[in-house]
Structure 1
Amino acid sequence: MSTTDDAMTMTSETLTIKKTSLKEKWWHIMDTWKVGIIPLPLFLLAGVLIAIDCLYGSLPSDIVVMVATLAFFGFACGEFGKRLPIVGKLGAAAICATFIPSAMVYYGLLPDTVVESTTRFYKSTNILYLYICCIIVGSIMSMNRDTLIQGFMRIFFPMLCGEIVGMLVGMGVGLSLGMEPFQIFFFIILPIMAGGVGEGAIPLSIGYAALLHMEQGVALGRILPMVMLGSLTAIIISGCLNQLGKRFPHLTGEGQLMPDRRNVDQPTASAPLFSAKTDVTTIAAGVLLAVLLYMIGMLGHKLIGLPAPVGMLFVAVLIKLVHGVSPRLLEGSQVVYKFFQTSVTYPILFAVGVAITPWQELLHAFTLNNLLVIVSTVSALVATGFVVGKKIGMHPIDVAIISCCQSGQGGTGDVAILTAGNRMSLMPFAQIATRIGGAINVSVSLLVLGNFLI
């Protein structure tokens, strides 16, 4: 009887071990096999559910379905880019997440229902601005006050030097190729540094239509591809700079422009420390803080015409400098920043690729002469930022990545460039480079065109 009891006990224990082992294997798959941040079983389930909706011909564009759709395609494209040999470490993930969807739309490889729903969702929700405002506020709240002040005071000089050298080099290369000076500057170099599409290419096309007596659509068609190619070049260079920083750590602050002279036990912008007090309500308050600051920026845009992200940026800096929020709320903002950086970037880039990145425009501008002028312009701009930043005591690689943003495709370009460079905490400075720098370039150039060349 005892032997039988022992055998039954051993059998029961064996079954328990087998059951536990099977459960642990499943948990192991859930925790370690991932596409981006998505556990593989959930990724496959999302793919099946999206496919079923597509087969029925109706993929809802509401936020619930779009969260799954953008996450599925965005992380799939990003993961593909990360796993590419060599270029996977040079920013290919951000490039693939943006331009593969654009190419799939153009060649008809993406279901029409996905394209329509994604485009409708992106344009109706302005989800990009929620992303940008949470990134800006979170990164500003993570910075040391002294570093923040010094960074904003010093960043303009490398930006100015970079633009001057970039323009001169681009003009020199274009002239050596036999291109017309007017064409080189106003239809290649200036669009690259105009600050993207909404704040750059469109105002330029309106100005050209009025001053050069051409159709705005024609002008935009010539400008937009240069903006895209300039941004693509900047993404690649930013990825290369990130690898350079890994090889030569003394050249980078890993997301900080200025050398950090604080005590070593204090958190840095690139590695914020979160205490156990950061609960869900604090994180929610951090989101609300970012949204309210953006609303203030929108109000400033209506009153004085300053772009809303820039107005929000200045208010956030002011709040940080005067200790306007508690340390606990600062931590909540940092958690929000980290969440959007890790979980929302690739879905956003996928939506951008589908909704507002015309693949055919990129192909039309892909000529050898255009490419040489664009690459030389952006490379000179970035190299100048690197050298000048080092000379004035800043981290040269981080300054150079901000210089990349001067030739980015607006807010979407900033996201892709900083993602490729793994420096999302530099978003506040990137917004200055893109929006303020672009606005100045467009205004001055149209003024010169209207008063001296026409």
Structure 2
Amino acid sequence: MKENNQNTLTTGNRFLMDMPTAWFMILSLIIVGAGFLGKLPTSMVGGFALFMSLGYLIRFIYWKVPLIKNTLGLASIGLTCAIIKHFGLWPENIVETMTNFIQGDTDFLSWFIAALITGSILGMNRELLIKAGIRYFVPITGGLIFAYLLGGLVGQAFGMSFKDTIFYIAGPIMGGGTGAGAVPMSEMYSEAMGLATDVTFAKIYPSVTIGNWLAIFGAIFLNILGKKAPKLTGNGALMQDYSVEESKASYHYNMTMNDLGTGLMLTMTFFILGRVLNGVCPIVHAYAWTIISVAICKISGILPQRMEYSAVKWYDFAQGTFTVPLSAGIGIAMLNLQAMLDILSPGFVIIATAVVLGAIIGAGLIGMLVKFYFVESAVTAGLCMANAGGNGDVMVLSSCDRMNLMSFAQISSRIGGALVLVVQSVLLGILL
């Protein structure tokens, strides 16, 4: 009997970071209990502890239910945390700690995205990066055109003019989120229409919110579609001529702990460089500058191979360890269920759905013309245009288990979002 008890405590569980189940539960009880007692530090220490315990615990429970695992996937973690917050069941200490950790002074979300951008680009097959990069704006353009046309047509069916649908629903949904999309777009509208900025922002922000939620559910749908129709997906590979393995660069090193340190330093340097260059040229988003800088280094081959390898290993560690818990963190800190419920009028939801569906169809079909897989093209060039920027990219990609495509998702959110602002400014001049 004693031997059986020992096995219970020492046998690892792959859904709990290979930690013994009993020990994980003990550690989680201490962490979450501290949150309910108001004793959880509102710092990086409390944030790391809380989101890892909640994320892996919720996944451990849900992965016992095949229906949830095979449909909602990792999105179930964020949705569960958002629902709990909506009903006020999280204590203030837990919400405060997680909010500060994810998007406050600690800003773990930016740290995570930087790791994914740097590692995914440096770890990409150089030939693929060149081919895919050149073609990528083709499906982005296709998704944008289809989203505007389908949204405008459905809007007219519900008594909304094509112009208003484009200005207040389609454009904001496809515009790259709030900070880089809705805010500058509202200022643009304010100047052109002679309205106060808060008035124009209030008219377009609901579209950003509902677009983000629809993009998450769209990713769940596309993941299921890929399983039902395998020819439509590369299971994480974007281009049809390359499998997931063929999409990766090949290295022949044995990893050491120093590689993780080098990878972390290189990743953070590219992240900071993006912000420096954004200060010089603010019209290009800091993440876009990071993408451009990393891509130049990869294509030119100026980085030593061992440093590339180190950044890829750091990316592997960050993605493998933090994707699951980050879903819980975003659910608590950033997913506002009430904001979505407040705008759920049937007509508005149907028009917004048409916009997101147009983005899926346009990006997916046009992507196939340049030899992209339908699912991966629709997710990155379509849904990652329609979501709410950085946190939306994480939720969309985690919902369809394609976090390796973060670099392309960020191109959509940042450079694609800037493209939408240009399109909206041109349309303002034509339609007003």
**Is residue 98 from structure 1 mapped to residue 75 from structure 2 by the alignment?**
no
Q: Amino acid of the residue matched to residue 395 of structure 2?
A: A
Matches within 5 A, 1:342-357: 342-357=320-335
Instruction: Structure 2 unaligned segments of length 5 or more: list them.
Output: none
Q: Secondary structure at the match of 1:412?
A: helix
**Is residue 152 from structure 1 mapped to residue 130 from structure 2 by the alignment?**
no
Which of 410, 418, 421 aligns to 1:442? It is 421
Q: Distance between the aligned counterparts of 1:440 and 1:102, measured in 2?
A: 31
Q: In terms of mean alpha carbon deviation, does 71-80 or 296-305 score higher? A: 71-80
Conservation of the 8 A alpha-carbon contact between 2:150 and 2:355: yes
Q: Counterpart of 1:299?
A: 276
Q: Counterpart of 2:303?
A: 325
Q: Counterpart of 2:142?
A: 161
**Is residue 41 from structure 1 mapped to residue 19 from structure 2 by the alignment?**
no
- RMSD over aligned Cα atoms: 2.6
Q: Distance between the aligned counterparts of 1:352 and 1:429, measured in 2?
A: 21
**Is residue 24 from structure 1 mapped to residue 7 from structure 2 by the alignment?**
yes
Quickly say closer, same or farther: Cα 1:113–1:206, change in 2 above 3 A.
same
Q: Counterpart of 1:415?
A: 394
Matches within 5 A, 1:241-390: 241-260=222-241, 267-269=245-247, 277-305=254-282, 306-390=284-368
Conservation of the 8 A alpha-carbon contact between 2:13 and 2:19: no
Q: Counterpart of 1:109?
A: 89
TM-score w.r.t. length of structure 1: 0.86
Quickly say closer, same or farther: Cα 1:25–1:52, change in 2 above 3 A.
closer
Q: Amino acid of the residue matched to residue 150 of structure 2?
A: V
Q: Distance between the aligned counterparts of 1:316 and 1:151, measured in 2?
A: 15
Q: Distance between the aligned counterparts of 1:20 and 1:274, measured in 2?
A: 43
Offset of 1:351 from its aligned partner? 2.7
Bigger Cα Rg: 1
Q: Counterpart of 1:9?
A: none
Q: Amino acid of the residue matched to residue 113 of structure 1?
A: N
Q: Distance between the aligned counterparts of 1:21 and 1:358, measured in 2?
A: 45
Q: Identity rate of aligned residues, in percent?
A: 27
Q: Amino acid of the residue matched to residue 330 of structure 1?
A: E
Q: Counterpart of 1:431?
A: 410
Q: Secondary structure at the match of 1:365?
A: coil
Q: Distance between the aligned counterparts of 1:386 and 1:158, measured in 2?
A: 7
Q: In terms of mean alpha carbon deviation, does 121-130 or 51-60 score higher? A: 51-60
Q: Amino acid of the residue matched to residue 429 of structure 1?
A: F
Offset of 1:169 from its aligned partner? 0.6
Q: Secondary structure at the match of 1:406?
A: helix
Q: Distance between the aligned counterparts of 2:397 and 2:215, measured in 1?
A: 10
Conservation of the 8 A alpha-carbon contact between 2:42 and 2:97: yes
Conservation of the 8 A alpha-carbon contact between 2:175 and 2:420: yes
Which of 179, 189, 207 aligns to 1:226? It is 207
Q: Amino acid of the residue matched to residue 361 of structure 2?
A: A
Q: Distance between the aligned counterparts of 1:98 and 1:220, measured in 2?
A: 26
Offset of 1:410 from its aligned partner? 0.2
Q: Amino acid of the residue matched to residue 193 of structure 1?
A: M
Conservation of the 8 A alpha-carbon contact between 2:116 and 2:404: yes
Which of 43, 50, 54 aligns to 2:31? It is 50
Q: In terms of mean alpha carbon deviation, does 402-411 or 383-392 score higher? A: 383-392
Conservation of the 8 A alpha-carbon contact between 2:153 and 2:162: no
Q: Distance between the aligned counterparts of 1:155 and 1:408, measured in 2?
A: 18
Q: In terms of mean alpha carbon deviation, does 67-76 or 215-224 score higher? A: 215-224
Offset of 1:175 from its aligned partner? 0.6
Quickly say closer, same or farther: Cα 1:49–1:394, change in 2 above 3 A.
same
Q: How many residues align?
A: 429
Q: List per-residue Cα deviations over 1:78-129 (Å, max 9, x = no partner).
A: 45555555453234422x3333333333321110111122222331112111
Q: Distance between the aligned counterparts of 2:117 and 2:323, measured in 1?
A: 14
Q: In terms of mean alpha carbon deviation, does 437-446 or 169-178 score higher? A: 437-446
Instruction: Structure 1 unaligned segments of length 5 or more: list them.
Output: 1-17
Matches within 5 A, 1:114-263: 114-122=94-102, 123-260=104-241
Offset of 1:386 from its aligned partner? 1.8
Offset of 1:39 from its aligned partner? 4.5
Conservation of the 8 A alpha-carbon contact between 1:89 and 1:239: no
Q: Secondary structure at the match of 1:153?
A: helix
TM-score w.r.t. length of structure 2: 0.90
Offset of 1:339 from its aligned partner? 1.9
Q: In terms of mean alpha carbon deviation, does 391-400 or 149-158 score higher? A: 391-400
Q: Secondary structure at the match of 2:318?
A: helix
Q: Distance between the aligned counterparts of 1:281 and 1:349, measured in 2?
A: 29
Q: Distance between the aligned counterparts of 2:232 and 2:10, measured in 1?
A: 41
Conservation of the 8 A alpha-carbon contact between 1:81 and 1:93: no
